[in-house]
Amino acid sequence: MRHEINSDYIEYKDFLDDCIINFDTKGEVFGNQKRNSLKLFSKDSLTINIKSFKIPNIFNQIVYRFFRKSKAQRSFEYALKLKKLEIGTPDPIAYYEFSSLFLFKKSYYISEQLECDLTYRELINDFEYEDYENILRQFTRFTFKLHEKGIEFLDHSPGNTLITKTDNGYSFALVDLNRMKFGPMDFDKRMKNFARLSKYKHMVEIMSDEYAKCIGKSYDEVFDVMWKEVKAFRAIVDRKKKLKKRLKK
């Protein structure tokens, strides 16, 4: 077993070890379990969220064993980097990995459980959500902040931003962090980063308007490129759906 624990949480090492060793039999199931398993564990006033990544295919077992950092390790390291850049994300606590001599097996990412009022997904499912446009505009400014700091969140999709109402507006926190890049982002790359967020034109219009104000470009220029990226992504999604239907026949 290989692991790394955030120095701020080293006092919980025995508790963390026990959670990982007994992950299958302890803890409270939490959230979507389709791709990976999520569970909550508590000790004293601390509640932690453990994400158990499924065992990769045989090719990736070799890749992760010798050539590439695991999803759990990347999640942990990216979370630490986001914290340094003053970007919201649940506090990173630790990651654990299990391997055989030649193959990578299981990995776990542990973070502090962060409660929120909604995710971006609520804005897609409920156009009448209270303070809807204000939340969407503040989310757009948050995304601009990511871009200005050179953070390309490759999984910038509806369920991966936690939104909490505060006295000064809303705060935003990123989750599902294992796919990120860091470095300067040109205009096209920034617009492409909006592609997964919404297929609805009225939402793209609002985000384009707010992003244009942030970046100092015209609304038309921002909207044209952002909407082009959204349509290109949706075309890929639709093709995949059609292919799956054909394969099921």
Task: Say if CB 178 and CB 154 are below 8 A apart.
Answer: no
Give the H/E segment covering residue 4.
strand 2-5
Looking at domain 118-244, its CATH architecture is: Orthogonal Bundle (1.10)
Where do the domains of the chain lie?
2-112, 118-244
Rg over CA atoms, the chain: 20
Which CATH number is associated with domain 2-112? 3.30.200.20
Q: Which amino acid type is present at position 84?
A: K
Q: What is the pLDDT of residue 249?
A: 63
Per-residue b or e along 15-42, where b marks 16 or more CB atoms closer than 10 Å to that residue's CB: bbeebbeebeeebeeeeeeeebbbbebe
**Distance from C-alpha of 52 to C-alpha of 198, rounded to nearest angstrom:** 28
pLDDT in tens, 19-30: 999 999 999 998
Residue ranges of E strands in 46-204 = 46-53, 92-99, 104-112, 118-119, 151-153, 161-166, 169-174, 180-182
* 109 burial type by CB count under 10 A (0-12 exposed, 13-18 middle, 19+ buried): buried
The tens digit of pLDDT for each residue in 44-76 reads 999 999 999 999 999 999 999 999 999 999 999
pTM for the whole thing? 0.93
